[in-house]
Amino acid sequence: MLIPLLRSGALYLMWRRHIRQRALGLIIAVLLVFAVNLVHSEAVAFFKATERLELTPLAFYFRWLGWLTAGTGYLWFVERKIAKAAKLARAQSNDTGKVKRSKPKPTKKSLEQHDGFDALRHNTPLRSRAEIMLDQKKRDSAD
């Protein structure tokens, strides 16, 4: 199933445009969520073992706080950096776009003369295998 996607280049384009910039941040955020879940499950197990169940809601609050911290950290450190880079690139492209050089417009005659097929019109014609064999026989018979 992945072979057709790789052949078409869709997966490669997604990697280049979206995932590669965010890969490290996504990995860190996912690992942080897993760590928060691990600490939360250990805390709940500890509270049950020590029979201090009144502290269990606190563990749930800290789990949600950890998840929000992971999401906010990802948005702050990764997405904000990507947005700044995009804004800077747009500003630079706008600065270079302001100085426009006027190009002379091609005339109708020059467009007709250079339509992109000139190189093909002046090529030597292709010869078939039969024509090549006939030419060889003519040369052999002439000797």
What are the distances in angstroms from CA 82 to CA 54, 78, 87?
43, 6, 9
Q: First and final CA of the chain: distance in angstroms?
A: 62
pLDDT in tens, the chain (143 residues): 667 756 677 777 777 788 888 889 999 999 999 999 999 999 999 999 999 999 999 999 999 999 999 999 999 998 888 888 888 888 888 876 555 555 666 565 555 566 777 777 778 888 899 999 999 999 998 87
pLDDT at 17: 80
Going from N- to C-terminal start, the domains of the chain cover 2-106
Reported pTM: 0.55
Give the pLDDT confidence score for residue 113 in this predicted structure.
64
